[in-house]
């Protein structure tokens, strides 16, 4: 693949970068008559140019090596939760999970130097407790994402890439957003459960996860800590990968993706059989929609249902009285603190061993990667190779 040289104008870089505009969202919505089922996100995510801001004393200038496709970008293109492009002035530059090589550093940067390989995090501005008020490259004001050839970011936004963790480059690129999310969900779910049921009363838990990358990583944490982990997915590739890690699996399609009450009842019976009649003590549900009711149905007393996603629906109904009687807790989170992102990164390779989609997409094919993710036809986490030429430090990590 030939790489177009980055344009320099009056000392500034104008690299290629993908954008999402309110104008393109409106045009695609009009084309499909407002029917999101026929919406093609590849027609909205467009290759653009971006003039990078001046590098400050605590900034770094880096080139992006690889990035992963993320569902928040899908939501931005669909404008199904909110029209974030319109809210931010008509256009955003997405991408909040990437691996990069540092080209230059500001005079006050002490933790990094040119040539270092780093990963990003998307905590766009911590609250008083360290958790993000906004997400970088989504709703954080002025934020510019990493679906581009180069970027200028603050030193606080990057973490040293664990190149010696045993994962290849594409596996590392799959994790910067998903691993901290899973890490945060797991420590919240387990912590809430332990407020109700002590380790002495129940040491090993039944942990169920629905969905894709985040739930996979969530279950890897549960398995690593000695719990029974169960992955429910319609993807045979993902189930096979997790089975190889000692995680039990359920084919979601055997239960018609919970289309009816009978399907949910059958799923409930199946999970009870896998858990010695107890059900799931902790459930990770990143999908919602019809999965939400199925997840509640199979939970044990004192159970905890955690989520940081809404791929299928943002609205859910439940019987509050029934959940109160069963002592069920519903917990919603978003993303990790910066400290938590660093802690999650330390688990790459040792705990986190992601399923990566069999095709590594070229930079020019990023819109197709997003549309195929939206269509749910990928075999794992989608990763995009941004740089045509890779630094020597990662050459051995490219399969």
Same domain, 144 and 283: no
Same domain, 102 and 234: no
- Tell me whether residue 340 is in a domain: no
Same domain, 121 and 257: no
pTM: 0.93
Identify which of 185, 172, 213 has the alpha carbon closest to the alpha carbon of residue 72: 213
Q: Quote the crossing angle between the two packed helices 261-274 and 290-297, to the nearest 10°.
A: 40
- d(CA 346, CA 245) in angstroms, rounded, equals 19
Residue 147: the pLDDT is 96
Q: Residue 43: beta bridge partners?
A: none
Q: Which helix (H) or strand (E) holds 338?
A: helix 338-345
Same domain, 139 and 241: no
Identify which of 379, 341, 333 has the alpha carbon closest to the alpha carbon of residue 360: 379
Same domain, 265 and 167: no
DSSP labels, 307-335: ES--SS-S-----HHHHHHTT-EEEE---
Q: 69, 369 in Cβ contact below 8 A?
A: yes
CATH number of the domain enclosing 96: 3.90.180.10
Same domain, 302 and 386: no
- Tell me whether residue 338 is in a domain: no
- Tell me whether residue 375 is in a domain: yes
Same domain, 20 and 147: yes
DSSP labels, 112-177: --TT-EEEE--B-SB-TTS-BSSBTTTTSTT---SSBSEEEEEGGGEEE--TTSS--HHHHHT-TT
Q: How is residue 192 annotated by DSSP?
A: H
Q: 101, 108 in Cβ contact below 8 A?
A: no
CATH number of the domain enclosing 300: 3.40.50.720
Residue 316: the pLDDT is 79
Same domain, 146 and 32: yes
Tokens 């790459």, located at residue: 348
Q: In the numeric block, which tokens belong to residue 235? A: 């993807």
- d(CA 348, CA 53) in angstroms, rounded, equals 32
Looking at the structure of the chain, the number of domains it has is 2
Query: Could you list the pLDDT tens digit for every one of the 399 residues in the chain?
Result: 233 445 444 455 789 999 999 999 999 999 999 998 899 999 999 999 999 999 999 999 999 999 999 988 988 999 988 899 999 999 999 999 999 999 999 999 999 999 999 999 999 889 999 999 998 888 888 899 999 999 999 999 999 999 999 999 999 999 999 999 999 999 999 999 999 999 999 999 999 999 789 999 999 999 999 999 999 999 999 999 999 999 999 999 999 989 999 999 999 999 999 999 999 999 999 877 788 899 999 999 999 999 987 766 677 788 899 999 999 999 988 889 999 999 999 999 999 999 999 999 999 999 999 999 999 899 999 999 999 999 999 999 999
- Tell me whether residue 124 is in a domain: yes
- Tell me whether residue 237 is in a domain: yes
Q: 318, 291 in Cβ contact below 8 A?
A: no
Same domain, 128 and 220: no
20 Cβ contact partners less than 8 Å away, ≥ 6 residues apart: 44, 45, 46, 73, 76, 77, 85, 91, 92, 94
Domain, as residue range, for 290: 179-332
Q: In the numeric block, which tokens belong to residue 225? A: 């800590």
Same domain, 99 and 225: no
- Tell me whether residue 343 is in a domain: no
Q: 292, 283 in Cβ contact below 8 A?
A: no
- d(CA 354, CA 172) in angstroms, rounded, equals 9
């Amino acid at each position: 693949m030939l790489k177009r040289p980055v344009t320099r104008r009056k000392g500034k870089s104008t690299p290629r970068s993908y954008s999402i505009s309110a104008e393109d969202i409106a045009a695609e919505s009009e084309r499909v008559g407002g029917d999101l089922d026929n919406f093609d996100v590849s027609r909205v995510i467009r290759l653009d140019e971006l003039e990078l801001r001046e590098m400050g004393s605590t900034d770094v200038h880096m080139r992006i090596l690889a990035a992963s496709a993320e569902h928040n970008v899908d939501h931005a293109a669909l404008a199904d939760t909110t029209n974030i492009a319109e809210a931010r002035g008509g256009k955003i530059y997405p991408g909040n999970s990437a691996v990069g090589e540092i080209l230059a550093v500001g005079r006050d940067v002490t933790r990094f130097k040119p040539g270092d390989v780093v990963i990003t995090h998307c905590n766009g501005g911590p609250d008083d407790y360290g958790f993000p008020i906004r997400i970088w490259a989504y709703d954080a004001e002025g934020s510019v994402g990493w679906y581009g050839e180069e970027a200028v970011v603050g030193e606080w936004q990057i973490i040293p890439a664990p190149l010696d963790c045993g994962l290849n480059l594409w596996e590392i690129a799959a994790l910067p957003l998903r691993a901290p999310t899973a890490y945060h969900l797991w420590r919240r779910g387990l912590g809430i459960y332990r407020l109700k049921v002590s380790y002495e009363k129940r040491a090993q838990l039944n942990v169920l996860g629905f969905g894709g990358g985040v739930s996979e990583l969530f279950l890897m944490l549960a398995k690593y800590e000695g719990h029974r982990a169960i992955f429910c997915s319609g993807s045979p590739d993902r189930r096979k990968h997790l089975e190889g890690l000692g995680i039990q699996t359920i084919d979601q399609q055997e239960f018609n993706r919970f289309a009816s009450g009978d399907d949910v009842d059958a799923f409930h019976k199946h999970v009870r059989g896998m858990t010695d009649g107890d059900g799931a003590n902790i459930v990770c549900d990143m999908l919602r929609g019809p999965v939400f009711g199925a997840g509640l149905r199979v939970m044990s007393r004192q159970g905890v249902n955690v989520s940081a996603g809404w791929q299928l629906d943002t609205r859910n109904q439940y019987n509050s009285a029934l959940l109160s009687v069963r002592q069920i807790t519903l917990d919603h989170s978003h993303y990790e603190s910066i400290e938590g992102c660093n802690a999650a990164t330390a688990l790459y390779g040792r705990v986190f061993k992601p399923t990566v989609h069999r095709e590594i997409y070229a930079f020019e094919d990023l819109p197709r990667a997003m549309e195929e993710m939206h269509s749910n036809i990928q075999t794992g986490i989608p990763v995009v190779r941004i740089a045509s030429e890779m630094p020597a430090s990662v050459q051995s990590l490219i399969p």
